[in-house]
Amino acid sequence: MNFADKTIGVLALQGDYSLHERQIIALGAKVRQVRLPRDLEGIDALIMPGGESTTMDILIDRFGLREPLATFGAIKPIYGTCAGMILLARNIERNQAGVKTLGLIDIDVARNDYGRQIYSFEEEIEADFHGEKKRFLGGFIRAPRVTRVGPAVTVLARFQDWPVLVEQNKILAATFHSELESDTTLLEYFFVHFLLDRADTKRILDG
């Protein structure tokens, strides 16, 4: 698969954005760090990484990114992991920190609901990519729990019966980190199903 003509933005305000950059480069696409609204211009998709959602929320407002991110996500693909998922969600339960979400995917989440940092763990995830089963490792680090899934949301993977990988329209969101490993299975799914047109997707899947 050749993604050399694709430029992927990575929200680089805080968090583990460098690990996402490494995987993007491994798949042959170009990377652009996004810190200001102008950085969204001309990119094909955006990744919102894990990190600290309260800090990221503050910085999104400080750099004037809230409206541009919402506009971008309405027309182009976004993939959010952990804190990125929190910011993409419709609603945050017990939101004492007052984090403001973008509301781009119709889910509710509970922050840090899999436990504090010391309870972090790694688990093999089995995803159903529309009939194609794939396995890869996911790192749960102060991970959010998806507590409600809207009717238009597709659940691609579960862990202990809880949704952990979901999609709606052009938005993909994971409670876990998959960028900690060299395995690019999940990122490849995002590229193929969200970036390519239908003819290209069919050609790649048919081999």
Residues recognised as catalytic = 82, 177, 179
- Phi/psi for 18 (5° steps) reads -65, -30
State the DSSP code for 40: G
Q: What tokens appear for 180 in the block?
A: 């900690």
Instruction: Determine if residue 15 is left, alpha or beta; phi over 0 gives left, psi from -120 to 50 gives alpha, anything else beta.
Output: left
CA 25, 68, 175, 151 torsion-angle sign: negative
Longest dimension (CA), the chain: 49
CA–CA gap between residue 132 and residue 129 (Å, rounded): 5
Q: What tokens appear for 152 in the block?
A: 């238009």
Residue 139: C-alpha distances to residues 64, 77, 156, 180 (Å): 31, 23, 17, 7
CA–CA gap between residue 47 and residue 21 (Å, rounded): 9
How many C-beta atoms lie closer than 10 Å to residue 95's C-beta?
Answer: 15
